């Protein structure tokens, strides 16, 4: 291949005529070019299996690893992190405190803030009810998703809520094995990612297949119900998702 490159290089010493090499060199150059293209394609084909097999470390688990995680959850606690809309609420509150925002705009913002807080509370109460009715696989605690930042710092207590979203100071994870469930997207880097229950361990590492970690929410059914029967749309979507989570965990645990 070195000789081919050396031959190809000499064509640079001759001026082009109308964008082409002189006819006495053109045939040799085209042959060399074809050889180099074939060798490049062959090299890519040889390397292709390496690219296909390359996966991030920990991308999949063995069935034994998955079962041990399910068993640990069965004997431990699932912490359900409820959407707080904290960033949106703080942003709207900051606008209300801004003297440069006129009163008419503040009236609109205040209404939006009240709607956000009311809908968040209603949806979170619906989620709690769905888990109380459908989830029996393990003990379950509730907290706002703002607690995740505290979990990362190792502060595991003082964040929990009772079934009416009031602080429950006596609830503690100390001495217990626990996992986190949050509502997120199956692939946050892709617009096609589906909204789902995402499960993580106590180090906040997402659980990997074959652990039944992601349970997608039925957003299509939700949109249909939102139009036809809005009063039950959120409840039906959440109840269906929690029932599916219970079923997948129970089935996997019972198969081993």
Strand order in the sheet with 139-144: 160-161, 139-144, 77-82, 178-185, 195-200, 214-216
CB-CB contact of 166 with 198 (8 Å): no
pLDDT for 188 equals 52
Query: Among 88-97, 172-181, 193-202, whose mean pLDDT is lowest?
Result: 193-202
| Confidence band of 227 (pLDDT split at 50, 70, 90) | confident
Which of 61, 68, 72 lies closest to 256, judged by CA?
68
Q: What is the pLDDT of residues 32-71, one digit of tens each?
A: 555 556 565 555 444 444 433 433 444 578 989 999 999 9
CB-CB contact of 11 with 26 (8 Å): no
Which of 187, 133, 124, 198 lies closest to 161, judged by CA?
124
CB-CB contact of 163 with 128 (8 Å): yes
Which H or E run includes 110?
A: helix 103-134
């Amino acid at each position: 291949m070195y000789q081919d490159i050396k031959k190809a290089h000499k064509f640079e010493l001759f001026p082009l005529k109308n964008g082409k090499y002189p006819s006495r060199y053109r045939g040799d150059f085209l042959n060399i070019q074809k050889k180099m293209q074939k060798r490049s394609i062959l090299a890519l084909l040889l390397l292709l299996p390496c690219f296909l097999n390359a996966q991030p470390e920990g991308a999949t688990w063995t069935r034994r690893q998955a079962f041990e995680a399910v068993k640990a959850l069965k004997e431990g606690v699932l912490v359900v992190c409820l959407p707080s809309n904290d960033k949106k609420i703080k942003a709207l509150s900051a606008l209300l405190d801004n003297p440069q925002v006129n009163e008419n705009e503040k009236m609109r913002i205040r209404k939006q803030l009240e709607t956000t807080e009311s809908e968040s509370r209603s949806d979170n109460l619906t989620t709690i009810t769905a888990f109380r009715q459908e989830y029996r696989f393990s003990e379950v605690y509730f907290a706002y998703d703002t607690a995740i930042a505290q979990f990362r710092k190792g502060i595991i207590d003082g964040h929990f809520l009772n079934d009416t979203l009031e602080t429950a100071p006596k609830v503690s994870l100390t001495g217990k094995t626990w996992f986190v469930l949050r509502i997120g997207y199956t692939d946050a880097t892709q617009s096609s990612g589906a909204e789902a229950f995402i499960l993580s361990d106590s180090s906040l590492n997402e659980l990997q297949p074959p652990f039944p970690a992601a349970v997608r929410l039925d957003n299509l059914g939700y949109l249909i119900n939102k139009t036809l029967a809005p009063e039950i749309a959120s409840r039906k979507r959440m109840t269906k998702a929690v029932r599916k989570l219970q079923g997948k965990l129970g089935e996997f645990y019972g198969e081993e």
